[in-house]
Amino acid sequence: MPTSDDMFPYSLSVFFPAYNDAGSLPELVGETFRVLERHVAEFEVIVVNDGSRDNTGEVLEQLQMQHGERLRVVQHQKNRGYGGALRSGFGAATKEYVFYTDGDAQYDVGELPLLLEAARHGATWVNGYKRERSDPWHRVLLGAVYREFARALFGLRLRDVDCDFRLIQRSAMDGLTLRSNSGTICVELVWGLERKGLRALEMGVTHRARQHGRSEFFRLASLWKTLRELGRLLSLRLRGAANSPRA
């Protein structure tokens, strides 16, 4: 049994955005509770069901029967996109730190204690980066192009902006307004935190091959939406630079 000295000294909200993730959620949620029970004294687990078309809703009902009030479900009647799911997750979180990763379980929630240990020693924001991406070659290539393009456009320091394995002190997000409905929300979030002078402590994490479902990000409609929202963010950045006082 872990002692009080071994436990994370802050309260923690964990949430998962989920869209058609019925196949991965039972194992993901079960492993999450096992990890948290060993490492965190006060926590909550939240799943945002973003208008899934499979039986994700039924699976979550079963998981709530198993875990009781410790598992909260936020239901979107219609799909709001990845950004909409993340905004709901952050809005529902009530604890001192917030951790999220995707409901498809491509990241190993068993590595969460690595991030918790960094926060224990004072890190406000801990962000994973994929040591190796376990996806088909074309997704690896497109992902690398998108990542470097976004970093260049917004001057981001974070090496892997689309690694959704993040632990953030909730108060660090005070004053940030997230508007993106697509995967662009990751750029918006990182850009906002870095503009506040915060820099992530980065840690290599495992990325696993998808076992269930399919990625929505690499569909043509999703890519077009992402590009449009990147353009909107870039416009905001340029207007901000134009309105800044000259030295």
Q: Which residue has the higher pLDDT, 169 or 239?
A: 169
1 lies in some domain: no
57 lies in some domain: yes
**Amino acid at site 112:** L
Domain count, the chain: 1
Using the predicted structure, report yes or no on whether residue 235 has a pLDDT greater than 90.
no
169: helix, strand or coil: strand
107: helix, strand or coil: strand
**Confidence label for 1 from pLDDT (cuts 50, 70 and 90):** very low
**pTM of the complete model beyond 0.75:** yes
**Confidence label for 213 from pLDDT (cuts 50, 70 and 90):** low
Q: What is the CATH number of the domain that holds 202?
A: 3.90.550.10
Round to whole Å and give the CA distance between 166 and 172: 13
Q: What is the pLDDT of residues 65-116, one digit of tens each?
A: 999 999 999 999 999 999 999 999 999 999 999 999 999 999 999 999 999 9
Q: What is the pLDDT of residues 152-211, one digit of tens each?
A: 889 999 999 999 999 999 999 999 999 999 889 999 999 999 999 999 999 999 998 765
Round to whole Å and give the CA distance between 3 and 91: 31
Q: Are 47 and 75 in contact (CB under 8 A)?
A: no
114 lies in some domain: yes
* Nearest alpha carbon to residue 205 among 105, 96, 66, 72: 105
53 lies in some domain: yes
Domain hosting residue 86, numbered range? 7-240
Taking the CA atoms of residue 110, residue 108, residue 81 and residue 168 in that order, the dihedral angle to the nearest 10 degrees is: 50
Alpha helices in 10-136 (DSSP H): 25-39, 56-67, 81-92, 112-120
196 lies in some domain: yes
HSE-up (13 A, CA, CB side) for residue 200: 25
Round to whole Å and give the CA distance between 115 and 203: 8
